[in-house]
Amino acid sequence: MTDITRNRHRGNEYSAAAHRRTNKERDLYRLYALLFSRSPGGMTAQEASDETGMPYTTCSARFTEMKKYDWIEHCGSRMTHTGSPAGVWRTIRGKGG
């Protein structure tokens, strides 16, 4: 799987190593299934992290990939537990997985 965040971390050796070490495909489908079960209401990446126990950064990266693949769509915003607004995402029926 291509590292679509490579430009963001600018080739940082630790980020590159993490990219090689993680099972992105497994995490991607796990999060897609979770979002599918929560549609049409959707979830934030933080909510997905809280529910799955996966690190927030992992959930956020997989959400970015699902957006790129056109598997999910923005459907609103909610406040996080820190009081910051966050995008809410839901699956696009008939796409993904």
pTM for this one?
0.75
Reported confidence tier of residue 33, pLDDT bands at 50, 70, 90: very high
- Regarding predicted confidence, which is higher, 39 or 38? 38
Average pLDDT for 8-31:
76
Domains recognised in the chain with CATH numbers: 24-91 (1.10.10.10)
Residues 6+ apart with CB under 8 A from 62: 24, 27, 28, 31
User: pLDDT tens-digit profile of 43-75?
Assistant: 999 999 999 999 999 999 999 999 999 999 999
Strand spans (E) along 4-97:
72-79, 85-91
CB atoms < 10 A from the CB of 60, how many? Answer: 17
